[in-house]
Chains A and B, each alone.
Chain A
């Protein structure tokens, strides 16, 4: 390969920062004690886990005892929903049509167990209406779960408003904040959330570790049985080095958020404007301003997403798509369908998600390559040909 790869898939995962890796390394080989052990090595490890817990808590305005380490964001979502359903008296859950599958599939699972789930629709930008949440609350509603920001189209949901409604109604409120940490301000008090899911590898921490915030006083059943770890709620020897890495990563991500945000928003908007100005028949997915600073998601009519991704990859650009062919099913992304896109347009989506190391030159390179690649695919598309025939008729 004669050029470096430009990685623009930071919503999928991010690189571990060198400072994070450095903080993790001693906990593999030098200080490898089991945090549950009584001896010196065990006590050192315990202190490391508790330090990370404080770092995570501080990043979201929580108390350390409200943070439970998990294996990933999906585990946090599963635990929050199924763990609450286990102990709650009631059979109704409110969520949205654009949630991550780690929220939707547990909801579908509970439906099979006799629960009723309301999947709230979203507007053309992917936003849930707080009023619709309020109207959906019933006597037997046990949980509201709405994501903080969408992983595909980047739309930021009105979480604080929904949180206030949930609080007033006395219904526990969970939010999947996996994409939001380090990108936008997240404060569990200001947002009025009772549970919040996080994942370290989305903010330059390691894979294989996440956390669930559970507000003090809210009872949910344990996720894993068999040990006293995580206040008897999530058994299993702690993923020590990764937990240390998560603590370091969240501290860095939140402390540098404002600085990163300025650069990301500028580069993101340059990319959106550049594509809009040079390529016809495109549309921006998600909200134009209430969106994650690093999220670009656009549809290119008449072409299919996987072909676009593969050609971009050959040109050294790594992105993702919501086309059926990238999801392993026959339907394109449920999020793109929920914002009202017809199937054939949803198949032609491209998501590029920037990282804090994305440069102006990277964006210029994408803007240089993308128009030609789109045109090559359009030139071989029968849809494009039919549309042009119609226009000329």
Chain B
């Protein structure tokens, strides 16, 4: 049911962890639904230089968080804000239809971290 790429990111998630003194940090989802994602980002000169995540959730949630961190590192804030869950899913080779909602969290956690960054640096 999962693509090889999803399984690869699930088995070997990239960028798991936290960033000390992160420029921005966001937590989305709720334990009731079985998905929580925490995203930390480091921003230097308007560019995301590092991103780390922690996820409580299913295989799809872990794989999309992992892929999303890879996709935003090196991007400007504007570029990262434009990232959609569909792009993350496409990069993973797709997700089963019942798992699409899990991928929304990755996009939301990035937005939450960026909003936190903007608030901290207003």
Contact = CB atoms under 8 A, between A and B. Distances in A.
B98 A381 contact: no
A360 B115 CA distance: 53
A343 interface: yes
Interface residues of A, number: 24
Nearest to B62: A307
A325 B55 contact: no
A interface secondary structure, majority: helix
Interface stretch (A206-214, A298-306, A363-371): A298-306
A347 B34 contact: yes
B71 to A, nearest CB: 18
A343 B32 CA distance: 5
A86 interface: no
A332 B31 CA distance: 11
B98 A328 contact: yes
Contact of A383 (B7, B16, B56): B56
A311 B54 CA distance: 17
Contact of A379 (B16, B34, B98): B16
Nearest to B10: A310
A102 B53 CA distance: 40
Contact of A324 (B7, B18, B27, B34): B34
Contacts of B99: 325
Nearest to B65: A380
Interface in B1-49: 7, 10-11, 13, 16, 18, 27, 31-38
B59 interface: yes
B38 to A, nearest CB: 4
Place the interface of chain B in its size category: 20 to 34
A323 interface: yes
A325 B61 CA distance: 10
B36 A382 contact: yes
- Looking at A314, A325, A328, which has the most chain B CB atoms within 10 Å of its CB? A325
The residue among A304, A323, A328, A330 with the most chain B CB atoms within 10 A of its own CB is A304
Contacts of A382: 27, 36-38, 54-56
A381 B54 contact: yes
B58 interface: yes
Given A347-B34, A381-B55, A382-B38, 5 more contacts: A303-B56, A304-B35, A325-B102, A328-B98, A382-B54
10 contacts: A304-B56, A311-B11, A325-B57, A325-B59, A325-B99, A343-B32, A380-B55, A381-B55, A382-B37, A383-B36
